[in-house]
Amino acid sequence: MTSDQPTTAGRRLSRRHLLLGGAAAGIGAASAIGIDLAGRSSQPASVAPTAGPAPAAAHGGETVPFFGVHQAGIETPPQAHGTFIALDLRDDVDRAGLIRLMKIFTDDAARLSQGTPALADSEPELGVIPAALTITFGFGPGVFTRAARTQVMPGWVGPLPAFGVDRLEEKWNDGDLLLQIAADDPVTVAHATRMLLKDARSFARVRWTQPGFRRARGSEKPGTTMRNLFGQVDGTVNLEPGTADFEHLVWGGNNPDWMHGGTGFVLRRIEMNLDKWDRLDRPGREASVGRTLDTGAPLTGTVESDEPDFEAKTAIGFPVIPEFSHIRRARTDNPDERIFRRTYNYDEVPTGDRVSDSGLLFASFQADVTKQFVPIQKRLDELDLLNKWITPIGSAVFAIPPGCAADGYIGETLLAG
């Protein structure tokens, strides 16, 4: 007998009980899971870490609440590691299947994010260091079709309009379901990813996986704006969780009722050609964005938080912040055309003559993708000096359902009833 046999059997039992419990009695995930645990008397309801020390180190034990009005992983300060995964539903998955899948996902995410191994966790020792783990779910068009709920699909769900700068590769586009798995520890992310994907196996296939990272937690002061792989301070002008603007522009909007507490999500995989960037001098690099590289201050200021002065002119009459600079083009006078950026760097293993294969997983949350994201991207498409070094190669849009209560599951406002 191999060592994983009992666990695999346990998992099968787990799923059968979960499904039977849900389908036969029409009861919620928590009760169904109760049934499951009753069927496995060897495992207590509150699964204590079976092995390994409790997290002793500074950040390993940190948890982010899972249940609530909004899903975790949006207002949460960005963790050091974030993996985005798109799934495609298998042909036979209908609304009932989606409900089963989302109940299982919810249970896994609720447990793992609190440092409790998932049900029948195959590596429970890896489940005890949450390191601020959040798992956020999103729905692509396929979910609405399978659930027979297309009438309440926000109009902005689906592919974005085509942009001239796009060189999209099919392997990075779209998807039925999104998972954003983020934590301050890469082993935690790897384990959560594996548990969720194992549980999804009979419902869905992986379409793409995009791991990203920021600086390691503890390597700089909390709240420091991240740097992308061009070395730029990236994320200075952004919506701030907890503000009225955030409430309105991320959690508000004119979405169908079931979305109340949810939002919209865009992921653009943008290649940053570092080999070409290497040939640009420092003044050229700073002009392309309109900010300095050392502090991220606007070219007209001295510290990062200074307001850019777009009217300021050089001695010979040119704008100090060039017309083609990224910040000038990305900015708008329309306060409703703003988004919340929560991006990650990616860095693949280069092959052949290339020294780098790097870029940005440009992730943004906004209540209405068409009204908020698209106008910015259109302006950048028309003119942005950065376009010489960056190329969007992947694109996906998802509706992020609201959070749920402890006796509910993510997606219930869309799927139930």
| Binding positions for ligand HEM, rule: CB under 6 A | 228, 230, 232-237, 268, 270, 272, 289, 291, 326-327, 330-331, 360, 362, 373, 376-377, 380, 386, 390
* Cβ closest to ligand HEM, residue 97 vs residue 394: 394
CB of 235 to ligand HEM, least distance (A): 5
CB of 293 to ligand HEM, least distance (A): 9
CB of 163 to ligand HEM, least distance (A): 9
User: Do 59 and 132 contact (CB within 8 A), yes or no?
Assistant: yes
* Cβ closest to ligand HEM, residue 135 vs residue 385: 385
Look up tokens 């068409």; give the residue. 370
CB of 372 to ligand HEM, least distance (A): 9
Q: Which amino acid is at 403?
A: G
CB of 138 to ligand HEM, least distance (A): 18
Q: How far is 135 from 99, CA to CA, in rounded Å?
A: 17
Q: Which residues contact 6 (CB under 8 A, 6 or more apart)?
A: none
Taking the CA of residue 202 as centre, how many other CA atoms within 13 Å lie in the half-sphere pointing to its CB?
Answer: 10
CB of 384 to ligand HEM, least distance (A): 8
Q: Write a three-state SS string for the chain.
A: CCCCHHHHHHHHHHHHHHHHHHHHHCCCHHHHHHHHHHCCCCCCCCCCCCCCCCCCCCCCCCCCCCCCCCCCCCCCCCCCEEEEEEEEECCCCCHHHHHHHHHHHHHHHHHHHCCCCCCCCCCHHHHCCCCCCEEEEEECHHHHHHCCCHHHCCCCCCCCCCCCCCCCCHHHCCCCEEEEEEECCHHHHHHHHHHHHHHHCCCEEEEEEEEEECCCCCCCCCCCCCECCCCCECCCCCCCCCCHHHHHHCCCCCCCHHHCCCEEEEEEEEEECHHHHCCCCHHHHHHHHCECCCCCCECCCCCCCCCCCCCCECCCCCECCCCCCHHHHHCCCCCCCCCEECCEEEEECCCCCCCCEEEEEEEEEECCHHHHHHHHHHHHHHCCHHHHCEEEEEEEEEEECCCCCCCCCCCHHHHCC
CA-nearest of 56, 59, 362, 53 to 219 is: 59
CB of 64 to ligand HEM, least distance (A): 24
Tokens at 152, concatenated? 């309440």
CB of 386 to ligand HEM, least distance (A): 6
Residue 174 is among the residues annotated as catalytic for this protein:
no
Catalytic residue (one of 176, 185, 234, 368): 234
Q: Which amino acid is at 22?
A: G
Active site residues: 234
